[in-house]
Amino acid sequence: MSDPEAEIIIVDVREKWELERCKIDNSLHIPMGTIPNELHQLEFNLPIIVYCHHGMRSMQVANFLLGRGFIHVLNLEGGINAWAQDVDSEMEVY
């Protein structure tokens, strides 16, 4: 049986200092500015969820990925801030 978490790529596009404050476990850190050079880390055939602090940067990255042929790309609406409020109330917010 395959690992369900291996079936989804979660990409954190925030800066390193933001990652040091809080993060979603098992996410892949690729800062927004490095995405064009790091596409090799992503798989076209797997669903990708992109997040940032509030969802604006990740929306831009999601649109960029869709424009490059990635099919299953979602933006985590509200970013990690919404995640902290709705999913993990013990997560630090900033």
Query: pTM for the whole thing?
Result: 0.89
In angstroms, the CA 80 to CA 56 distance is 11
Task: Write down the CATH number for the domain with range 4-86.
Answer: 3.40.250.10
Look at strands 48-51 and 9-12 and give their pairing.
parallel
Domain ranges of the chain: 4-86
Whether residue 22 lies in the annotated active site? no
> Which pLDDT does position 56 carry in this prediction?
97
Quote the tokens at residue 20: 């040091």
58-69 residue pLDDT tens: 999 999 999 999
pLDDT band at 6; cut points 50, 70, 90? low
Choose, from 42, 50, 52, 62, the residue flagged as catalytic. 52
